Amino acid sequence: MKKNNRFIIETKSLTKKYDGKAVLDNLNLAVAEGEIFGFLGHNGAGKTTTVNILTTLLVPTSGSAEICGFDTVKGSMEVKKSIGYLPENVKFYDNLTASENLEYFAKLSGIKNSKEKVTEVLEFIEFTGIEHKKLGEFSKGMRQRIGIAQAIMHEPKVLFLDEPTSGLDPMGIKKLREVILKLNREKRMTIFMNTHLLSEVAKVCTTIGVLNHGKLVYKETLENMLKRFSDEESLEDIYFTIGE
């Protein structure tokens, strides 16, 4: 990580246009190290586009984004070394076992002792005994945990999760939440989470940002937000008030 950086994730006037239409409009966002940042917004607000730019998958139309002080376009290889990513609805390779899937991504991340690393990571997320099962036999919740495992294999500083609880049953959500909190607590990993579920935000996130039509309309720590909107009955009410 480059020194003298206050924020581990920082965007400046980040804009992304498709066919002249701005999906992201001058987004200025900063996330400090060690935060669990909940990125909220309705469908089409630009959350996934933001994550795609931050994970080097997309190039912004204008503006810039930095992860650990590295520009996502000019320093994309350094950024890739610093991040882990779990996209929405990733299915992995059904014909491979959990170990084989994880070893493949470990090798692509440049890890030499991939077998040992897989064991270590699965133990860390408390998901052992499934190493030799094929992914085709896994439930959505189990796949998401494998997804987290592949994303943290190379011990990234920032973990990006795109709608991680989407489609999970309550038990799956609970287990995933525990893993996210453990990663943040024990590995000091900064977590950037796109989500719809306000209840999850309340249970996991330290800071939230609300995106509306490509613009950041609100950013605050969860604690301060709850104080500020103490009159509102629920998080949903707060969300709609912010959106207005």
Partner 1 sequence: MNNFAKIFTVAKKEYADALKNRVFLVFLFFLLFLIGVSIIVAAFDFQGKVAVYQNALLKLRQSGQVVENLSEPQFFPLQLLRGAIEYLEIIGAILAIVLGYLSIAKEKGNNTLQLILTRPISRFSVYLGKFLGNALLIISVSGIVFVGITLVVDIVGKTMLTGSQLYRIFLTFIFTIIYLLIFFSISTLLSILLKSLPNALIISFVIWILFVLIIPQIGDTMDPDNQVPGGLFNSLHMVKADQTAILAKFSHYEKMRDNLEQTSLTKHYERLAFAFLGIKDTYNGKSLEFIFSERAIDGWWISLASLLFGVFGAVIFVKKRVLWKEE
Name the residues that contact partner 1, by CB under 8 A. Answer: 48, 55-59, 77, 80-81, 83, 85, 87-93, 95, 104-105, 107-112, 150, 154
Closer residue to partner 1 in complex, CB, 61/212: 61
Taking the complex as a whole, the smallest distance from the CB of residue 20 to partner 1 amounts, in Å, to: 16
- Region of residue 97 (left: phi > 0; alpha: psi -120 to 50; beta: else): beta
Taking the complex as a whole, the smallest distance from the CB of residue 112 to partner 1 amounts, in Å, to: 6
Closer residue to partner 1 in complex, CB, 25/78: 78
Q: What is the CA angle 177-78-195, rounded to 5?
A: 25
Rg (CA), the chain: 18
Closer residue to partner 1 in complex, CB, 82/184: 82
Q: Half-sphere exposure of residue 44, counting CA atoms within 13 Å on the CB side?
A: 4
Please say whether the beta carbons of 211 and 47 come within 8 A.
yes
Taking the complex as a whole, the smallest distance from the CB of residue 143 to partner 1 amounts, in Å, to: 11
3-state secondary structure of 14: strand
Phi–psi pair at 205, nearest 5 degrees: -80, 150
Closer residue to partner 1 in complex, CB, 153/208: 153
Q: What is the CA angle 159-52-127, rounded to 5?
A: 35
Extended strands (E) in 41-157 = 62-67, 70-71, 83-86
Q: CA-based diameter of the chain, in Å? A: 54
Taking the complex as a whole, the smallest distance from the CB of residue 238 to partner 1 amounts, in Å, to: 26
Residue type, 6: R
Closer residue to partner 1 in complex, CB, 122/135: 135
Identify the H or E element spanning 195.
strand 190-195
Closer residue to partner 1 in complex, CB, 100/220: 100
Closer residue to partner 1 in complex, CB, 163/235: 163
Taking the complex as a whole, the smallest distance from the CB of residue 155 to partner 1 amounts, in Å, to: 13
Taking the complex as a whole, the smallest distance from the CB of residue 230 to partner 1 amounts, in Å, to: 35
Identify the H or E element spanning 101.
helix 98-108
Taking the complex as a whole, the smallest distance from the CB of residue 244 to partner 1 amounts, in Å, to: 25
If you ran DSSP here, which 8-state letter would residue 97 be given? B
